Structure 1
Amino acid sequence: MAYTDLELFARLIQCEAGGEGDDGMRAVASVVMNRVNAPGGEYARIGKGSLRNIIYQKGQFDCVREVVGGKPNSQLVYNMSPEQIHYDIAEWAMLGNRLTNLGQALWYFNPYKPECRVNFPSKVGEFAIRIGDHCFYNPTEYYFET
């Protein structure tokens, strides 16, 4: 079954940040849309303004990988059952809204420890803020050389 962009995005938000509260889900949605609208670098070339290109970019979101760590991934976007909040946040982000304290963050990850790395994954991103369990990173000038 082919999902609309809204349905696919709502499923991704639920899968990637469903347990992070409203701001955590908004932050993840903001990162996805920042990638869609990136003015340069890898995401501008791959995304080309397409939400689907960003969501399905290889190696970016565990929720679209059928295998994670050598095992079948039961937490796939296809297995999600989004609720109204997930659709609302997806629409909010698609309409151009972003969390203001996030900047132009292009990456996030859960370090499974209290502190966030200063750079992500090398010098392409610098720490911006932690929201819930996720650390968020804004692009540096090095990112635009990718």
Structure 2
Amino acid sequence: MAVIKANSRDVDMLARLIRAEAEGEGELGMLMVGNVGVNRILGNCLDFKNIRSMRDMVYQSPGGFEAVQKPYFYQRTREKERRLAQRAVNGEKTRPASNALWFYRPAGNCPATWWDQQNSGRYKAHCFFVPTPADCPRVY
């Protein structure tokens, strides 16, 4: 059962995003990027107030995803990415991205905080960052 409202186009859009942002991180890394996207829609907090749809989340500007500026994002998805996107939409969460609203790929080690948000962990090249439960209770 979906934790956010998403039709097949939304799932496809999330699938393109997770592939473009984290294909090199494998299936688990792509699922984690999906977690971040779903959390941004659920959260309605901090930088993500009034992000109510997949389109709002994917194309948020400023503060959105770099991948939408690259041609790779606009290529057709594969079934593997659509399944991963659907799992994220259905609420499957994976640490360290379970409650994360942000991620990025630093050149070195993950910092303890990023824009005042706590590091929740690293998976391969990506570091994930979480809000406090007080700031964003809907992602917890």
State the TM-score, normalized to the length of structure 1: 0.78
> Cα deviations across residues 61-105 of structure 1 (Å, max 9, x unaligned)?
11112xxxxxxx443x21x23221100000001111111443310
Partner residue, 1:136 = 128
State the TM-score, normalized to the length of structure 2: 0.82
Paired AA for residue 118 in structure 1: A
Match 1:56 to one of 47, 53, 59: 59
CA distance in 2, matches of 1:39, 1:63: 22
5+ residue gaps, structure 1? 66-72
Partner residue, 1:106 = 101
CA distance in 1, matches of 2:65, 2:134: 22
CA distance in 2, matches of 1:54, 1:20: 21
Say if 1:40 and 1:54 are closer, same or farther in 2 by CA, change over 3 A: same
Query: Contact 1:111–1:134 at 8 Å: present in 2 too?
Result: yes
1:26-105 paired onto structure 2 within 5 Å: 26-43=31-48, 45-48=49-52, 50-59=53-62, 60-65=64-69, 73-75=70-72, 77-78=73-74, 80-105=75-100
Partner residue, 2:4 = none
Aligned residues: CA RMSD: 2.0
Query: Contact 2:23–2:30 at 8 Å: present in 1 too?
Result: yes
State the shift of 1:142 in Å: 8.8
CA distance in 1, matches of 2:86, 2:65: 20
CA distance in 2, matches of 1:53, 1:5: 11
- Moved beyond 2 Å, runs of 4+: 39-42, 100-103, 140-144
Percent of aligned positions that are identical: 29
State the shift of 1:140 in Å: 3.2
> Highest CA radius of gyration, 1 or 2?
1
